[in-house]
Amino acid sequence: METSQATSRQEAIAAPQRRHTVVMGRQDFFSTTMRLIGVELYKLRRRLMSKVMIVIAVIAVFLLFQIIALQGPPSLPQSFTTPIFFVTNFAGIILITILAGTIVGGEYSVGTVRLVLTRGPSRIQFLLAKLGTLLVIIAVGILLLALLGIILDVLFILITGIGFDLRFLSGEWLIHALCFTLEAVLGLFVYASLAVCLATLGKNTAAGVAGGLVWWILEGILAVGFSQVALYSQGPTRDFLLAVPTYFIGTNVNSLLQNQDHFLTGGVSGSLGDLHSILVLLIYLILLIGLTWRINEQRDVTN
């Protein structure tokens, strides 16, 4: 009798009101992963490093346009493609490698990875949240910097009094511009995945940042070295030396962008076909993300 009365009293007690900051959404795989991406983006917005990187990227684009203006007045197609080229082949690689190595390696350095994996999400969701966050940052960053380039070009035209020439603008041009932007996102995402893989393997930020930057620098050095040695070689040896750089990340990313830039601005096309470059980059993504997933699944994070 007393037990039934106690139970009824407990049921009569109202449940505490949930705070507005607590979000209880759907618990399926996709919804949980999307919420984790939102959490990661919120964490990045609160970090000083993110704001510093944005300032650095904006200053870099301003300086780039100052250099272009010294060589001659910029035109609208070039003002769209040049910042993306610069970000994808230089500044963006450095910034996204630092960011990717930090948000993944930092979880291991301070031990928060153990807390994250005990709060419900699976390890694959944890990995996908990190990769999804990087993908969002890359896409938004490239679009904003491209928009900044166009704005600077328009301001330059208004100040100098040069007329607008929009004869290049067409539906086909817009499609190639979209492909150009997506290929730039793909290129930076491969480098971000590389930094994530190395940071996970080394369990610290330095492994992801230093490893990713060293990889990028070595690719450039080896590409030049192989081409120079090939000049003094013949036969199969020469073919092998010339073929090796065609499987580097940077070579394929740059070739994709050049192929689209050839249509957008009339520049020189890349040395590799689009299909070859896309397949090589996708293979890199499969290997890097697959290796990272394998390490995450088998690693004992309690120690």
Predicted confidence band of residue 80 (pLDDT cuts 50, 70, 90): confident
Averaged pLDDT for residues 52-76: 73
Q: Which residue has the higher pLDDT, 138 or 62?
A: 138
- Looking at residue 21, its pLDDT comes to 62
Predicted confidence band of residue 257 (pLDDT cuts 50, 70, 90): very high
Q: Which residue has the higher pLDDT, 69 or 105?
A: 105
- Looking at residue 155, its pLDDT comes to 77
Q: Please determine, for residue 25, whether its predicted confidence score (pLDDT) is greater than 70.
A: no
Averaged pLDDT for residues 123-136: 91
pTM to 2 decimal places:
0.85
Residue 66, C-beta contacts closer than 8 angstroms, at least 6 positions apart: none
- Please state, in angstroms and rounded to a whole number, the distance separating the CA atoms of residues 80 and 153: 9
Averaged pLDDT for residues 52-68: 78
Predicted confidence band of residue 32 (pLDDT cuts 50, 70, 90): confident
- Looking at residue 263, its pLDDT comes to 85
- Please state, in angstroms and rounded to a whole number, the distance separating the CA atoms of residues 90 and 57: 11
High-pLDDT (> 90) share of the chain, %: 32
- Looking at residue 7, its pLDDT comes to 53
Residue 20, C-beta contacts closer than 8 angstroms, at least 6 positions apart: none
- Looking at residue 218, its pLDDT comes to 95
User: How would DSSP label each residue in 88-121?
Assistant: IIIIHHHHHHHHHHHHHHHHHHTTHHHHHTTSS-
Averaged pLDDT for residues 91-102: 90
- Domain residue ranges of the chain, discontinuous segments joined by +: 40-298
Q: Please determine, for residue 60, whether its predicted confidence score (pLDDT) is greater than 90.
A: no
Tokens 């870099």 found at: 60
Q: Say if residues 255 and 270 touch (Cβ distance below 8 Å).
A: yes
- Looking at residue 162, its pLDDT comes to 65
Q: Please determine, for residue 15, whether its predicted confidence score (pLDDT) is greater than 90.
A: no
